[in-house]
A and B are shown apart, each in its own frame.
Chain A
Amino acid sequence: MGAIFTDPDADKAREFFRKKSRALKPKVMSVKEAVEKYVHDGDYLCIGGFGANRIPTAVCHEIVRQGRKNMGFAGHTSTHDFQILCAGEVFDKLDVAYIVGLEARGLSPNARRYMESGKVKVSEWTNYSLSVRFKAAAAGVSFYPSRNIMGTDTFHYSGAKIIQCPFTGTKYAAMPAIWPDVSAIHVHEADIYGNCRIRGITVSDLDVARASKHLIITCERLIQNDEIRRDPSFTSIPYWCVDAVCEVPYGSYPGNMYGEYFSDEEHLREWLKVEENPEEFKKFLDKNIYSCKDHFDYIERNGGMHKLLKLREKEFMFSKARD
């Protein structure tokens, strides 16, 4: 009963990927350029990371700043990124696993208003269901079987179908592949061609990277290709998946970046608070997104390097993260 917003046809995806460049060429550009070039109205979008952890904040802000509309979106434990995209009413078709909440921080009043407005067409999934949909796409097949969601309304409002195992007769839920038109993932390190290294949890990002037709990478720092080739065991996303590489230090701010900096809980609390009043929220967005030149401008307006150094301390000294 739920809609499937992207075509699960594996042969059509193969036709696309057949033409995707395998050339080892520099892809470094600004976030502004990357969004202009690869994110279009009506595209299906996926954002990497989990909640407010290792998210490409700069790309989310830029999509809102450039006023993209009518996009499809994968709400795959999407918390602060979801909050940002809702502020711009960027999408009107949504695959849901976890949205409108910021886990232990509470629920986003503005995201709820948007989701209760009737403006968004919704299909329901779960975290694993969406992960499996990316896994299918990454593997180049049109669906993947899983043993969850059966018997629930989550199944009823999803686009999954019940199938039978040809060997045992057991029931499975068939999860249709998603090949996002464009995704953005924030990583620790990348070379100029897009070979990426990620530390900490990977969530579904390795499959998302392989499933996406276009991929924007933001990285904490650029590294030499020699360093990638010195030990390829650390490469988790290969360059042929990547279309744009943007160096954005502190790119997950105000989110957490494993081994780099903790989340800015004060600023995230401010977002949730200011959303209660639509007028105040508009001013807040003008200050923090619409009138910002880029991610550094945004960080400067919220404490700059002093704030970032504190967040680095917190990441390294957990006991202080409570304060």
Chain B
Amino acid sequence: MADYNTMELMICTAARELEDGACVGVGTGAPCAAAMLAQKAHSPNLVILFEAGGAAPLIPEMPISVGDSRTTWKAVMASGMCEIMETACRGMLDYTFLGGAQIDMYGNLNSTRIGPDHQKPKVRFPGSGGANDFASFCWRMMVMTPQDPKRFVEKVSYITTPGWLQGGDSRAKSGLPLGAGPYKIITNMAVMDFEPESKRMRIIAINPGYSEKDVQDNCGFELLKAKKIVENKPPTKQELSILRDQIDPYRYVIGR
């Protein structure tokens, strides 16, 4: 059995998506860990932006807030919300990583509420924060989330953050910037993308130790399958050592 946990695998998988010189908007937790890993492992010129205003920091360690002092450590600028989101809306943000309480087959995310009554919800979550903004503006929106049928649902109770909306060309028709949208979904079991026409979620890679059946059994809707499904590569020793020794030595994220 390989010596890594599923959170480490998800972070390493996500980090590999970020090429040198790219620009990524991240939140705290796993997305931030992925961006930090990419910057330390293979993308030294990765530009990391935080919605509260931190621009291109060399993050010394995991921030606890996307506005805390560490998000401007050796940064090129300490700016504000509009500066960061306008940079994204101008088309200069390549990637973002998001999460949510629920996700559907088109990559729409719910992080607002469960229950039909908006003024008196059964469960209240924080709401969008900057997630809707990043998902609307960044060219490629990615999601990191555990594979669980309670999360992967047929229909989210509330669309906080746009994926491909109702599929097909519905996103383009909505008025959101053209060409941007969900790109990959990274879970503990697999990596999914979206079938180009229908925009439905599709398995493209399986993580070591899992099968296509495991992925489908832990999903509340039918997943499409790519013609060729590959096995996702496990974390390398180098990635793991950076992640464990430099980025998250106290296991705040990878200990979950």
Contacts and interface: CB of A to CB of B under 8 A. Distances in A.
Interface of A: 49-54, 75, 77, 79, 96-101, 103-105, 107, 112, 115-118, 120-122, 124-129, 131-132, 135, 146-154, 157, 162, 170-173, 199-207, 256, 258-259, 262-263, 265, 315, 318-319, 321-322
Contacts of A151: 159, 162, 165, 170-171, 174-176
B153 interface: no
Interface in B31-85: 51-54, 60-73, 78-82, 85
Given A98-B129, A162-B175, 15 more contacts: A77-B52, A100-B124, A101-B126, A103-B28, A104-B252, A115-B124, A116-B123, A127-B128, A127-B129, A128-B82, A128-B85, A128-B130, A151-B170, A204-B81, A207-B82
Interface residues of B, number: 64
B158 A203 contact: no
A104 B121 contact: no
8 contacts: A51-B65, A116-B124, A147-B136, A151-B165, A153-B158, A171-B174, A171-B175, A203-B53
Contacts of B252: 104
Contacts of A127: 51, 81, 85, 128-130, 133
Given A100-B124, A153-B158, A131 B70 contact: no
B85 to A, nearest CB: 4
A104 B117 CA distance: 27
Chain A to chain B: the 8 pairs with minimum beta-carbon distance, closest first: A171-B175, A151-B174, A201-B53, A50-B67, A118-B120, A98-B129, A101-B126, A128-B133
Which of A96, A259, A315 has the most chain B CB atoms inside 10 A of its CB?
Answer: A96
Contacts of B54: 201
B112 interface: yes
Nearest to B85: A128
Contacts of B117: 118
B130 A50 contact: no
A97 B68 CA distance: 18
A273 B250 CA distance: 21
A126 B128 contact: yes
A148 B80 contact: no
Contacts of B158: 153
Contacts of A54: 67
B137 interface: yes
Which of B61, B69, B71, B79 has the most chain A CB atoms inside 10 A of its CB?
Answer: B69
Contacts of B4: none
Interface string B161-182: 1100100001100111100000
B69 A258 contact: yes
Nearest to A113: B124
B128 A53 contact: no
A118 B80 contact: no
Contacts of B68: 51, 53, 256, 262-263
Contacts of B27: 103
Contacts of B119: 118, 120-122
Contacts of A125: 128
A148 B65 contact: no
B210 interface: no
Contacts of A129: 132-133
A51 B28 CA distance: 12
Given A116-B121, A201-B67, A319 B60 contact: yes
Which of A49, A117, A200 has the most chain B CB atoms inside 10 A of its CB?
Answer: A200
Nearest to A198: B78
Contacts of A75: 127
A116 B165 CA distance: 27
A85 to B, nearest CB: 15
A256 B65 contact: yes
A318 B64 contact: no
A162 B174 CA distance: 10
A201 B72 contact: yes
B29 A104 contact: yes
A321 B65 CA distance: 13
